[in-house]
């Protein structure tokens, strides 16, 4: 493509930059007018998710401030249930993913994607966020399956915290090792419309991110199908042997308690399902580009990336829809040991439903839940 044709396509790179992009596309990519428009849509999707997740964080910080003001320091607990930690991890990763997408504003403004400190920062933030979302969603799916099908909820906040610590340590190590061992070799480079792990580092792409996309997809698929039919009452699980189950017609006269548990299951499974919907098109495009690198148009890439970028907003909508009044997202908490401040007792009101968990000091707490019980880790026991 000559300089004149480049100008007709809306490329605003200088003549030198355009010539350099033809020689070394891993260092710089000049954007056409159409690519800039497509990247703008991707950026807007990321911005929408960023705003939605920031709203969730505003709720969390508001409730934390309320607890600091109304509770004694020895009774201040932030994470009350395993699901609190999992949801906090999920939205933290969604926040990073949204920031990475919004950073595309710079490339839209410049009309080019170029290696440098900003490019490296975007690649790191995107890998942290996208891998964090995938692995945390995988944990949510596994926790839900353990609680319903096997009947063994992981109730310990400490155990869940250790699991998440291992997960995030792995993610950070993969990012740090990739950048350290390939320093100065365009590891984080234009791919081509934003910065991420370069095309010459397929193994780092797979083990640092793609493998977790695919594992979460497969696991969520095989978990969702049996639990969906269980929630409809078509599968009956043996109480003593979880590997034994039978099929039956759904019982229209099932007890209200069982119906609530089934609703909890669907609420928790909604997060993996939404993730699968958002990541499946992107995974298909990635698989195609592995075999035929130039077979996918920029339009197709922008479409699937936009869908993926909306996952943070979808998670926020799910949370607000199911209204999980667990410890992390609500203010009302009462402890069995010690006496709560009078302002707390005034706001508690009637206790419709309660959750229990062990605190570090051995006392128990009760969190106020809405009648539906949505948002907690479900269990068939």
Query: Mean pLDDT of all residues in the chain?
Result: 78
CA 253 to centroid of chain Cα atoms: 37
pLDDT bucket at 197, cuts 50 / 70 / 90: very high
pTM of the shown model: 0.80
Asked if pLDDT for residue 376 goes beyond 90, the answer is no
**Cα-only R_g, the chain:** 24
The predicted structure's pLDDT at residue 6: 55
State mean pLDDT over 212-225. Answer: 88
DSSP string, 98-161: HHHHHTHHHHHHHTEEE-SHHHHHHHHHHHHHHHHHHHHHHHHHHHHHIIIII------HHHHH
Higher local confidence (pLDDT), 280 or 267: 280
Q: State yes or no: pLDDT of 369 exceeds 70.
A: no
**Cα atoms in the 13 Å half-sphere on the side-chain side of 120:** 13
Dist CA 47 CA 42 (whole Å): 9
Is residue 108 pLDDT above 70, yes or no? yes
pLDDT tens for each residue of 56-105: 888 888 877 777 777 655 556 667 778 888 988 999 999 999 999 999 99
Terminal C-alpha separation, the chain? 67
Question: Which has the higher per-residue pLDDT, 361 or 326?
Answer: 326
Spatial contact of 31 and 191, defined as CB atoms under 8 Å apart: no
- Residue 75 near residue 109 (C-beta atoms within 8 A): no
How many CB atoms within 10 Å of residue 274? 18
Query: What pLDDT band is residue 325 in, cutting at 50, 70 and 90?
Result: low
Domains and CATH numbers, the chain: 31-367 (1.20.1070.10)
């Amino acid at each position: 493509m000559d300089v004149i044709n480049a100008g007709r396509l809306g490329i605003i790179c200088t003549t030198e930059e355009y010539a350099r992009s033809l020689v070394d596309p891993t260092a710089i990519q000049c954007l056409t007018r159409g690519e800039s428009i497509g990247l703008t849509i991707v950026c807007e999707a990321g911005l929408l998710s960023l705003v939605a997740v920031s709203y969730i964080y505003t709720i969390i910080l508001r409730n934390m401030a309320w607890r600091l003001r109304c509770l004694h320091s020895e009774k201040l607990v932030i994470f009350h249930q395993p699901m609190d930690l999992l949801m906090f991890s999920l939205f933290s990763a969604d926040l990073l993913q949204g920031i990475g997408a919004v950073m595309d504003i710079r490339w839209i403004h410049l009309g080019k994607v170029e290696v440098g400190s900003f490019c490296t920062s975007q690649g790191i933030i995107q890998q942290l966020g996208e891998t964090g979302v995938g692995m945390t969603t995988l944990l949510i799916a596994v926790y839900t399956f353990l609680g319903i099908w096997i009947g063994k909820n992981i109730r310990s906040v400490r155990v869940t915290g250790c699991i998440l610590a291992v997960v995030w340590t792995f993610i950070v190590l993969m990012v740090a090792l990739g950048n350290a061992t390939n320093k100065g070799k365009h590891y984080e480079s234009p791919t081509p419309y934003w910065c991420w792990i370069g095309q010459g580092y397929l193994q780092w792409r797979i083990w640092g991110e793609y493998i977790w996309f695919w594992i979460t997809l497969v696991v969520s698929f095989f978990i969702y199908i049996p639990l969906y039919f269980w929630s409809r009452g078509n599968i009956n699980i043996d109480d003593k042997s979880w590997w034994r189950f039978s099929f039956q017609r759904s019982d229209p006269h099932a007890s209200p308690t069982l119906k609530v548990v089934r609703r909890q299951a669907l609420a928790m499974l909604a997060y993996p399902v939404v993730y699968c919907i958002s990541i499946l098109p992107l995974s298909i495009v990635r698989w195609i580009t592995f075999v035929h690198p130039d077979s996918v148009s920029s339009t197709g890439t922008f479409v699937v990336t936009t869908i993926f970028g909306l996952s943070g907003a979808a998670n926020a909508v799910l949370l607000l829809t199911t209204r999980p009044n667990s410890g992390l997202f609500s203010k009302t908490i009462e402890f069995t040991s010690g006496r709560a401040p009078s302002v707390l007792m005034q706001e508690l009101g009637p206790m419709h439903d309660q959750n229990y968990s062990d605190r570090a000091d051995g006392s128990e707490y009760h969190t106020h839940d809405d009648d539906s019980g949505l948002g907690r880790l479900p269990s068939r026991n």
